[in-house]
Chain A
Amino acid sequence: MKYRGVTGRIADGINAVALLLIAFSMLFPFFYIFAVSFSSLEDVIRSDLLLWPTEWVTDAYEYVLNSDQFVRSFFVTVYVTVVGTFVNILFTATMAYGLSRPVPGRRIILFMVVFTLLFQAGMIPTYMVVKETGLIDTLWSLILPVAINPFNLIVMRQFFLNIPEELHEAAIIDGANHLQIFSRIILPLSKPALAAFSLFYAVTHWNNYFSAILYINDPAKWPLQVVLRQIVIVNEPDAALRGAQRMMENPPPPETVQMAAILLTTLPILFVYPFLQKYFVKGVMLGSVKE
């Protein structure tokens, strides 16, 4: 029991209120964006501080979803996220398992991995390699150059090291080889961990903007984040959402279109967030344990 006098109670109260305000500041932008995205032209013109629309309209969403560019980019992002996460898990899990066994040479390989956390060649040489391997303007350029996150690899290896050695011994006595041990024993045992890593990788792909502006010049292959930047930050919703205009007689106000685009882009993240939260504290802790 901690000491709690009158001053302690007051301090507790102040602390609770301060935390509430901080948490509110994280939530308010979404509340505001949500309200504006459903507002009508009259509300946008009339009100300087629009917190609740008098009339709920979905014009902005119709407008955004009418745009070929937005819909195509949405599917590009979905594709890159699904395929990319699969590649991530495949490469990370196999290498992490291999390095968790006592094979000759693993120290050197492990050092190679850790060294990339300390020093990287940088943007231009990596760009040259991506170009030389023929990935420019293909969706693989958003997947292969980031196939393994070294930090995730190290954390996953740590996870495999914690699996009891007896399981390996039993499997080896039963005549299993390492491929079989990996696919039939290790992977099924690691399902929760793999789910957690998948979520992290998936969020990274969904949010990735940097790779796309480096490697993708063709607007047909732009992921969602690139289009969202043009809609909101460059402030050119009509140019970014080609194809939307012809479908509607009275285009909705640009503000509401911008808000609708932000929400549509963020929705999948908000949707997986509860699952992410379940895993990430454990995941971060795993990485903090030293060998």
Chain B
Amino acid sequence: MEPKPVTGRLVRFSVRMKRRTQRIRRPPHDRYLYLLILPGLLYFLLYKYLPMLGLVMSFQDYSPFLGFWDSPWVGWKHFRTMFAEPEALRVILNTLEISFLQILFAFPLPIILAIMINEVRLTLYKRLIQSLVYLPHFLSWVVVVGIFVVFLKSDGIVNNLLKMASIQPIPFLTSPEWFKPLIVFQVIWKESGWGTILILAALAGVNPQLYEAAVMDGANRWQQIWHITLPAIRSTIVILLILRLGSVMDTGFEQIFLMLNPFTMEVGNVLDTYVYFKGIQQGDISFATAVGMFKGVVGLILVVIANRLARKYGEGGIY
């Protein structure tokens, strides 16, 4: 009977000690941490998650006078309209077509440019080129489209040069067939340089001994690029491609909106601009919400699939 109180006392003592050390180890005043998180959390709830509740409008015939609660429910009506309306189908096709052209032409260019920059031996020259090619990324789309308009309009510098060479002037900005190439070219001009950063970073991590060994084995420049440089950036390229595929529905609102005019509306109207014209300008709130939600859901599914694929092929995925 006697040892029991002793053990009991010991246990109580050790528990008390443990509590005390825990009190020291565990950061006090967690409530201050929540206070710090609160403004940001409120932001996300208000401007990111509350709009998600607003997606119910796509199943209603929303009327500003009736509000969310009293607007009539119409089920999948707007989604059915979307797939029956030739204009909406045209818009979906335009979106996919522009994205496809971007992936085909604009996606590989930063990789090629990065390899070119990586091959430069003179550090100063390399730095100079890098600082020049990053610049357009920081210009606004209004400025970039503005520059293109100034260069390509009927009495702009490009058409003046064509005239000098006795070539018929080309109405670049009002021809439907020039719209998509111009969109892709603008993205190439603006973003190719910026896109090289991550790839150059991956290349900086390549062990120089690999190149030395390759030279010993008699590899020439092309073989070095093919067998050392490209494999070194393969996983970076795969991850960038996944991200790109996930945003196939995203063609960027500002650029397309700024380039659109009545002549190019047929070939250039994409999901983002369509939602703007329908919802904001024509007040067809519910239909525009439905189109936007369709875009978002398809985008989400694509990212998840792309991520799965990347994991399957052993590239780790993005989340």
Contact = CB atoms under 8 A, between A and B. Distances in A.
Interface in B188-214: 189, 193, 197-198, 201, 211-212, 214
B37 A94 contact: yes
B51 interface: yes
B163 interface: yes
A122 B275 contact: yes
B39 A126 contact: no
Contacts of B280: 123-124, 127, 214
B143 A98 contact: no
B34 A98 contact: yes
A262 B142 CA distance: 9
Given A29-B147, A207-B139, A262-B147, A123 B48 contact: no
A33 B147 contact: yes
B224 A122 contact: no
Given A129-B47, A172-B27, A259-B150, A266 B143 contact: yes
A49 B300 CA distance: 49
B279 interface: yes
Given A8-B221, A112-B44, A120 B296 contact: yes
B275 A15 contact: no
Contact of A209 (B147, B151, B254): B254
Nearest to A5: B220
14 contacts: A94-B39, A96-B40, A103-B33, A119-B297, A123-B280, A124-B54, A172-B24, A229-B142, A232-B150, A233-B258, A235-B153, A265-B140, A280-B197, A288-B198
Given A16-B120, A258-B150, A23 B35 contact: no
A125 B52 contact: yes
Contacts of B129: 19-20, 22-23
Contact of B197 (A90, A235, A284): A284
A291 to B, nearest CB: 11
Given A23-B128, A29-B151, A33-B150, A91 B51 contact: no
Nearest to A104: B30
Nearest to A127: B280
Nearest to B303: A118
Contact of B140 (A104, A123, A206, A284): A206
Given A118-B303, A276-B138, A92 B40 contact: yes
Contacts of B121: 2, 12
Contact of A26 (B46, B132, B160): B132
A284 B198 contact: yes
9 closest residue pairs by CB, A with B: A95-B40, A122-B292, A125-B54, A207-B140, A121-B51, A98-B37, A125-B51, A232-B146, A48-B160
A179 B220 contact: no
A3 B224 CA distance: 9
Given A16-B120, A182-B36, A273-B138, A1 B143 contact: no
A112 B52 CA distance: 12
Contacts of A179: 29, 32, 35-36
Contacts of A7: 220-221
Interface string B143-178: 101110111010001001101100000000000000
A101 interface: yes
**Chain A interface category by residue count:** 35 or more
A197 interface: no
B275 A262 contact: no
A177 B141 contact: no
B255 to A, nearest CB: 10
Interface size class for chain B? 35 or more
B51 A19 contact: no
A48 B163 contact: yes
A248 interface: no
Interface in B53-80: 53-55, 57
Contacts of B161: 48-49
A122 B51 contact: yes
A285 B215 CA distance: 30
Interface string A154-183: 000000000000001000110001110010
B300 A19 contact: no
Nearest to A283: B197
B299 A119 contact: yes
A71 to B, nearest CB: 18
A129 B50 contact: yes
Interface in A194-212: 203, 206-210
B89 interface: no
Given A2-B215, A23-B129, A119-B300, A281 B140 contact: no
A168 B272 CA distance: 46
A204 to B, nearest CB: 10
Contacts of A65: none
Nearest to B276: A123
A48 B50 CA distance: 55
A60 interface: no
A240 interface: no
Interface stretch (B2-10, B13-21, B92-100, B111-119): B111-119
A15 B120 contact: yes
A26 B201 contact: no
B137 to A, nearest CB: 9
Contacts of B91: none
A148 interface: yes
Interface in A1-47: 1-3, 5, 7-8, 11-12, 15-16, 18-20, 22-23, 25-27, 29, 32-33
A196 B53 CA distance: 35
